[in-house]
Amino acid sequence: MKKALFILLILVVALMPIMAQGSKEAASGDDYKLVLKMSHVFAPNEQLTKSLDIVIKNISDRTGGAIEIQHYPQSQLAVYKDGVEQVARGADFISVEDPSYLGDYVADFNALVGPMLYKSFDEYEYLIQTDLVKGMLKELEDKHRIKVLALDYIFGFRNMKTNKVITTPADLKGMKIRTPGSQLFIDTINAMGATATPLGFAETLSAVQQGVVDGLEGTMDAYGSNGSAEVAKNMALTQHFLGTCGVYINADVFNRIPEKYQTIIEEEFAAGAQQMISEISNNYEATKARLEAKGNKFNEVDSAAFAKTVDVVYANMKGVTPGIYQTLQNELAKMPK
């Protein structure tokens, strides 16, 4: 009897690794399924939407459909601050938003995407790889459970789109310019000389047509694809912000995903950002030429004068690390030439 029990015990011990492996495979195998909803404000024909469609398909293909991301562009679900809040609360949700909305959780993100900070896409790409920004990302995840899958869905520099030639801050006096609801955007447009008017994008084009606002601001890609070129015929190349979005998911939701699928998700969102940057860069001149052929005008501005106006924005940022703007500039100065 004792011998039989001893043999049985040996068999159980021998089979334990196999049983554990089987259990692990069951948790991450063919029966695993997660549906995530993803939301943002961009129109279906804007490059960000197109690039994310590619990411979604690749993730589905590589996970055999185990990870399904349902894509809701053009504000069909929660966007801006509300979208990021869904992530922080732990919903099965991916928010794609300007990093300034992360500033509600870690204030230094406002400075990271502050006005007039960058002269090229490469400068931003360099900065988000520094230990400084990695520390911000860690704080965001550890304290607020927001995991950043990417920060560099860059869609171009943002410019003023009106029916008036704007060359100096004085030209914006008395003009109402539509902005997203980000406090950073509102403060910047006001500092530049206009009156910032937060509106959802669904209301914006009709608001320009009806004279509720005198224009809006945004990128070349948006100008050529979301209808704004039809209502605002002139773009002043202020380049006051580098337009970029991050991709955010709740850290606990992400950590419950089997590791092999986590890797695929991270790889595909990183690849999608690089694909988008390439498309935006390659299409800029062609989009501009196409719009010029339709009668839209473009003009340079007094960049130094506009840059001077936004000093107050950095000075009045609430909750940021003292001297963060100078720290960011010092980090950029280390960038290899």
Does the pLDDT value for residue 17 go beyond 60?
Answer: no
Mean pLDDT (whole number) for 181-206: 95
Cβ neighbourhood burial of 153 (10 Å; 0-12, 13-18, 19+): buried
* Confidence band of 148 (pLDDT split at 50, 70, 90): very high
Residue spans per domain, the chain = 33-333
Q: pLDDT above 90 covers what percent of the chain? A: 88
DSSP state of 81: H
Q: Any residues with CB less than 8 A from the CB of 99 and at least 6 apart, and which?
A: 109, 112, 113, 151, 244, 245, 246
Please, what is the average pLDDT of the chain?
A: 92
Provide the residue count of the chain: 337
CATH topology of domain 33-333: D-Maltodextrin-Binding Protein; domain 2 (3.40.190)
Give me 51's structure tokens.
């690039």
Calculate helix-pair angle for 259-293, 2-28, nearest 10 degrees: 10
Spatial distance between the Cα atoms of 118 and 45, rounded to a whole number of angstroms: 26
> Residue 284 corresponds to which amino acid?
Y
- What confidence tens digit (pLDDT) does each residue in 21-61 have? 444 444 445 699 999 999 999 999 999 999 999 999 999 99
pLDDT at residue 216, rounded to an integer = 97
- Are 145 and 86 in contact, with CB atoms under 8 Å apart? no
What is this structure's pTM?
0.87
